[in-house]
Chain A
């Protein structure tokens, strides 16, 4: 484990913890956000019968780097009537909330930021910071559009947390653990052992569970779309109604923080969904490292599969975004309270009964 390695190297728990915690940010989230922004634009471009960025670098691969440089140079505008303290804290809080979630996500069997037993609930709790940050941003901007966007966002995230938690509870009941590491480890070996296919134990219950697991997966995927404010639930940022919602007044790096948080969040929820249902970092068909008997190859392969699954779900999010129109606020609430929550609840009961039998 990386934490132990640094602990031995420096002989200090604090330094080791610090390095182990900031590693994913430096080597994963920042580059991921850079690539994901480009990917989004390229996906959008090709879906819309155009090319997307083409000028900076080969096929525009350096476009986001150029954008970041531009954002760094921009003037940091704070309007006279803004609440300066809240205005400055908000982007940091939003980013911290989405970054902290990565601590409990297992990247490979060899690396997890913090192996907490209540991992999945820790993630749900810590992403709550994002809501506070968004509300702060909307309030501190002193702008009616921002305020409307922030209120919508808070309402939306709070309502969609309920179906998410119900599905997580279903999984917790079924697997008996809230530790994401253990959860992923349980789904080892072939893809047939993934939770979406009823888990690793071969019995009648496994086959009975498959349809309910698929329902659970669909519910959590839709809810997480809403939690990260993606189309068709991008109401808080509804460009054509609220200009860009709670971050209308932000410019420069503060805006970039919101942007970065959005993409980090997209990946975080995708990683959680894949850890819950699709075996986390596990390969769907065994490891090359086992066949060749090279032990260090296994984590590398696991990291590849982890990224692959995460990016795949991020791609689906982008796909949906450039295909679907946007719901209206009341329709969004209807979808959550009238459909997702009852279905998730019934699903929870049924999975409980099947597991008991």
Chain B
């Protein structure tokens, strides 16, 4: 009798603490070594794109919030820019500055969730709560501005729903002052922790060519060492006025493009975002934020593609207008959806525990993957 071995198929998700939502990963295991990963998506599909065709342009805004719900401001900004391009209207300076401040605050909030949950995936639960404590303050800033904590409906085509709260500038400055030491604390607790480095360095190495071939964007691409950031390379809004660095992975703890690099790029991006917010607060012009909002949006026939750098990568909106008040077609290029493709490539030959580490470093939001 000969001994026969067979591979085990393990379904990770859709209900699993580390898949960050309703994602199902079909893992083929040989012992604990992963030989194949097939992501199954669609558990959160809400027909966003089709739905938009029955909406007027203004009504689409709240729906964009619900895609990447950790970066709702960024989603709204991308959509607003796309519609403004289609209408060919100019928005006031103040609006642009406030949009940048909001988008960058949102980037910090989103990265805090990414880093915190990444720590929790690796087994360190305390940094997770430290991150959420700081994120809470950003959410408070959003709340005093527009009344919502997660889904804002704040950035409208042509302007903003509200002007800033009188306390906003003071509170934001306070937050920046108190957040910097917290970031150092997070680094000491998690980033430079020996066990954390052992778990993430040299795990899931993504070479830059592969990343480009798969269309990877955002911190993942920068983690592989490519200096590509739409805020710098295809500037939108008023980003060209600010001075900030684009952090890239350097392979400090292992190889360029490993999970630790992707993690660390996010940490450094938060520092850069703080710089941008400070500069924007210093230069913040006066003005009316609602003056340029069109009463009725009826763009000419045509099509437009607008893209912004969201916390997870390039978020693109492709709009086709047939001249009516609602879009003929809305196509979203969701960064999480594109980045998720790389899972099989990255996970092969690693262990089950590394799948969790790699998935966390990809940083997906299922609301955006499925739309």
Contacts and interface: CB of A to CB of B under 8 A. Distances in A.
B and A form one assembly: yes
Interface string A249-285: 0000000000000000000000000000000000000
Contacts of B123: 231-232, 234, 238-240, 324-326
A243 B16 contact: yes
A241 to B, nearest CB: 5
A326 B193 CA distance: 11
Contacts of B190: 325
A44 B126 CA distance: 8
Interface string A113-149: 0000000000000000000000000000000110010
Interface string B339-355: 00000000000011110
- Please indicate which of the listed interface residues A44, A239, A240, A324 has the most CB atoms of chain B within 10 Å of its own CB: A240
Interface stretch (B194-202, B229-237, B321-329): B194-202
Given A324-B195, A327-B195, A328-B351, A240 B120 contact: yes
Nearest to B200: A325
B124 A325 contact: yes
A323 B125 CA distance: 8
Grouping DSSP codes into helix (H, G, I), strand (E, B) and loop, the A interface class, with mixed when no group exceeds half, is loop
B129 A329 contact: no
Interface stretch (A12-20, A45-53, A63-71): A45-53
A293 interface: no
A331 interface: yes
A330 interface: yes
A235 B199 CA distance: 13
A330 B121 contact: no
Interface in A303-341: 322-331
B8 to A, nearest CB: 7
A325 B196 contact: yes
A331 B129 contact: no
A322 B122 contact: no
Nearest to A235: B353
Q: How large is the interface on B (under 10, 10 to 19, 20 to 34, 35 or more residues)?
A: 20 to 34
B124 A324 contact: yes
Contact of B125 (A48, A144, A235, A329): A48
Contacts of A234: 123
Contact of A238 (B129, B130, B189, B353): B353
B10 interface: yes
B5 to A, nearest CB: 15
B66 to A, nearest CB: 26
Q: Interface extent on A, as a size class? A: 20 to 34
A42 B120 CA distance: 19
Contacts of A47: 126
B16 A328 contact: no
A47 B32 CA distance: 34
B18 interface: yes
B63 to A, nearest CB: 31
Nearest to B193: A325
B133 interface: yes
Contacts of B193: 324-325
A327 B199 contact: yes
Contacts of B354: 328
Interface string B138-170: 000000000000000000000000000000000
B356 interface: yes
B119 A48 contact: no
B32 A326 contact: no
Interface in B176-201: 189-190, 193, 195-196, 198-199
A148 B17 contact: no
A44 B122 CA distance: 17
Given A49-B129, A324-B193, A240 B199 contact: no
29 contacts: A44-B125, A48-B126, A48-B129, A48-B130, A49-B129, A49-B133, A50-B129, A144-B10, A148-B32, A231-B123, A238-B353, A239-B17, A240-B18, A240-B120, A240-B123, A241-B353, A325-B123, A325-B190, A325-B193, A325-B195, A325-B199, A326-B122, A326-B124, A326-B195, A327-B198, A327-B199, A328-B199, A328-B353, A328-B354
Question: Can you list the 5 inter-chain pairs with the closest CB atoms, starting with the nearest?
Answer: A326-B123, A325-B124, A48-B129, A325-B122, A240-B18
Interface of B: 8, 10, 16-18, 32, 119-126, 129-130, 133, 189-190, 193, 195-196, 198-199, 351-354, 356
Given A234-B123, A238-B123, A329-B353, 16 more contacts: A47-B126, A144-B10, A145-B10, A240-B121, A241-B352, A322-B125, A322-B126, A324-B193, A325-B119, A325-B123, A325-B190, A326-B123, A326-B124, A326-B195, A326-B199, A328-B354
